[in-house]
Amino acid sequence: MGLPKATAYLVEWFVRYTKNRDLLFRKISEIKEEGENVLVKQKDGKTLLYHVQPFPDDFGKLAESIQEEQKGIVVYNSKENFDSMMKEWKRLSGIKGLTIYFVNPFSKLEKRWIISPNIHSKISDAQSLKEGLNSMYLMVDPISKEEVEELTK
């Protein structure tokens, strides 16, 4: 039994994105797909685990379940995902080494925006946080679960 199409599409997109991003730096020695996980091994010995979860129920719980020092969560750029991240912001900002990728491969604008909650919380003040993150969210066309399911049939 394979992955749901919306998940498989996002995994495939993220692997291509990761390979393309590494063309200049040439740090990656291997990329392995293991279901919803993308394991990136670097030449310097570091391993990064990205968990592709198109529409997670609980960002905090998901992030805390990934044991690797360097970890990421890859989701679609939906309003629900953005709101869910904001709801769990305090919890997420306490997790070192976490990066979250908000993606819409079908966007006419940017295709993704990236946030590292632990780092971002250190460099921004609480007052402007929501406004700043909302601006980043709007750089990529939002997409709904229904639109993703229709486009990845």
Give domain limits for the chain. 5-151
- 112-136 mean pLDDT: 90
The pair of structure tokens assigned to 101 is 């990728």
- 107-134 mean pLDDT: 91
In angstroms, the Cα distances linking 109 to 49, 52, 94, 119 are 27, 22, 31, 25
Q: What is the pLDDT of residue 30?
A: 97
Give the other-Cβ count within 10 Å of 123's Cβ: 7
User: What whole-number percentage of the chain has pLDDT above 90?
Assistant: 82
Please state, in angstroms and rounded to a whole number, the distance separating the CA atoms of residues 127 and 145.
30
The answer to whether residue 1 scores a pLDDT higher than 70 is no
Please state, in angstroms and rounded to a whole number, the distance separating the CA atoms of residues 3 and 100.
21
Q: What is the pLDDT of residue 129?
A: 87
Task: Report pTM.
Answer: 0.95
Q: What is the pLDDT of residue 88?
A: 94
SS3 category, 22: coil
| Angle at CA of residue 14, ends 10 and 17, nearest 5° | 140
Please state, in angstroms and rounded to a whole number, the distance separating the CA atoms of residues 55 and 109.
21
- 129-148 mean pLDDT: 95
**Banded model confidence at residue 143, pLDDT cuts 50, 70, 90:** very high
User: What whole-number percentage of the chain has pLDDT above 70?
Assistant: 99
pLDDT in tens, 43-102: 999 999 999 999 999 988 898 898 888 999 999 999 999 999 999 999 999 999 999 999
Q: What is the pLDDT of residue 69?
A: 87
Please state, in angstroms and rounded to a whole number, the distance separating the CA atoms of residues 5 and 33.
15
Give the H or E element holding residue 16: helix 5-21
Q: What is the pLDDT of residue 68?
A: 84
